Homo-oligomer: A and B are copies of this chain.
Amino acid sequence: IRKGFPEVIFGQGKTAAQITRILQAMASSEEVILVTRISKDKAQQVMESITAATYDEEARILQLQKNPPEIINKGEILVISAGTSDIPVAREAAITARAMGNRVTTVFDVGVAGIHRLFAHKKIIEQASVIVVVAGMEGALPSVVAGMVKSPVIAVPTSIGYGTSFGGMTALLSMLNACSSNIAVVNIDNGFGGGHMAATINRLTALIHDTP
């Protein structure tokens, strides 16, 4: 039994009809199902048949859950993002982590160009058990955050930027070269992966406690 691991459908490239069919097949046996990267348009078509589903437009996630997922892990996952345009990816991470049974807090719009805004959240940052940091452009935020704490930081580069941001490649490279050692990185715009990895990590807080 894999409590806390929802079924996940990668919505991109699938039609509304295909998604609906998959959801109907799974609906009875699963507690929580997420459809990621699904446009508003397609989501609305799906919800005509699957009326119990709910849609988060910003995160582009559609959820179908029997009951709101129980908090099964201890500690808190914090999702931080740099610019306004990074919020969709950050919310995708947050919703994923929440659906996997975690308490999730978010702090958005705290880029390194005005670093005092970040420091205003020092306490919340130090208390988190796992932190997901979402940033585009120069991707400097995870490095700064990781330097402030002892917890694991999952860095999610976004494709936000222009010119030499190279669709997120600059942010990704920056994160892989971070001077702090409590950072690991996922694919560009992979908010789902960032949230999932954080949840996988935070699960250790429950697992070990329960075993003895």
Contacts and interface: CB of A to CB of B under 8 A. Distances in A.
B129 A115 contact: no
Interface residues of A, number: 77
Given A140-B174, A181-B197, A204-B204, 19 more contacts: A5-B150, A13-B85, A112-B147, A113-B179, A113-B180, A115-B144, A138-B178, A150-B203, A157-B163, A161-B177, A163-B190, A169-B173, A170-B177, A172-B176, A181-B193, A184-B184, A201-B201, A205-B207, A205-B208
Contact of A112 (B143, B185, B190): B143
Contacts of A177: 137-139, 161, 163-165, 170-171, 187
A69 interface: no
Nearest to A171: B177
A164 B172 contact: yes
Given A115-B147, A173-B164, A201 B152 contact: yes
